[in-house]
Structure 1
Amino acid sequence: MAGELNVEVVAADRKVWSGAASIVVAKTTEGEIGIMAGHEPVLGLLATGVVTVRTSEGEAVLAAVDRGFLSVSEDHVAVLAEAAQLADEIDAASVESELAAAGEDQAASRWAQARLQVAGVR
C-alpha cells in the first residue's frame, strides 16, 4: 500500500515483530534515524537502544535492540539485531538485577537500560 513500510524486527534467534508501519525510528552508531515510505536505500549499524515502529493503525511498538543492522530498500525496513525484545517480553525486576550486576560492563549496562526504557521503567 502506498505510504506504508513493510517492517521486520528480527533477533539472531527469532522474528520479534513484523507488520505495516508509517515510520521507524532507530538509533544507529551515527545517530538517530527516521525512516518513512519512499526513503532512499540505507544500511546502518545499529547501536544498542530502542527502535520505535509506528504502525499503520497509529500504535507505537517499542523494541529494545542490542546491536545489529538496519536495512532499508524500497519500502521495506529490516531491523536485524543480535538480540531484541518487546515491552511485554521484559521482566523489569530481572533486568534491574542484571543492571546492578553489570558493574563496569558498559555493553551489559546499555542493553539493560534499553530494555528498562522499553518496559517503561526508565
Structure 2
Amino acid sequence: MATFELELVSPERLLLSRPAEMVVIPAAEGEMGVLPGHAPMIVKLAAGLIRVTEGGQVTEVLFVPGGFAEVTPERLTILADEATPPARLSKAEAEARIAAADKAYNELGLTGTPEAREAAMEQLLAARAMAAVAEAA
C-alpha cells in the first residue's frame, strides 16, 4: 500500500519520523484520517490520540495535548509540545494538571481577557483528556 512521511516535532526535537499508510489525528473539529495524496491543509489539534497505521494495523498510538498539523499529499507534520504513549501516562500527573489548570482558569474570573480564558480552558480540557486516556490505558 502507498505511504507518506509522518513527522512528529516538539519545540526541542524531532520525536518521530517514519512512513505511514494512514494516520488518524485529533483535529479540533473531530478525528481526521490522513492518507497519501491528501489535500493540503493546516489543522489545529485538540487533546487526543494519534493513531499510526502500517500494514493495515495500528502500530503506534500517542497522546498529544494539542498542537497543529500540516498536511500535504506526501507528508504529515505534527507540531506538539509533547507526545506520550497512553501506557506511560500517569493518572496522578493528569489530576495535578487538572487542578493547576482549574485554578488558573478560576483565577482569571471575569477580569481576564477572552484570549487568556480560552487558553486556560484549553489547558483544562487537555488535562481532562489526558486523565481519561490514562484511566483507560
Query: Do the structures match in fold with TM over 0.5?
Result: yes
Residue of structure 2 in register with 1:115 after alignment: 130
State the aligned residue count: 121
Change (3 A) 1:116 1:15: farther
Residue of structure 2 in register with 1:41 after alignment: 40
TM-score of the aligned structures, taking structure 1 as reference length: 0.75
Percent identical among aligned pairs is: 28
Residue of structure 1 in register with 2:116 after alignment: none
User: 1:3-54 CA distances to partner (integer Å, 9 max, x unpaired)?
Assistant: 1121111222232222222211112233321111121222212223222222
After TM superposition, give the deviation of residue 57 of structure 1 in Å.
6.5
Task: For 1:1-122, list aligned pairs within 5 A.
Answer: 3-56=2-55, 58-103=57-102, 104=105, 105-119=120-134, 121=136
Superposition CA RMSD, Å = 2.5
User: 1:65-93 CA distances to partner (integer Å, 9 max, x unpaired)?
Assistant: 23322111222111112333232442232
What residue ranges of structure 2 are gaps of 5+ in the alignment?
106-119
CA contact (8 A) 1:19 1:55 kept: no
Looking at structure 1, the residues matched to 77 and 16 of structure 2 have their Cα atoms a distance apart, in angstroms, of 10
> More deviation in 37-46 or 107-116?
107-116
TM-score of the aligned structures, taking structure 2 as reference length: 0.69
CA contact (8 A) 2:24 2:33 kept: yes
What residue ranges of structure 1 are gaps of 5+ in the alignment?
none
Higher Cα radius of gyration: 2
More helix by share: 2
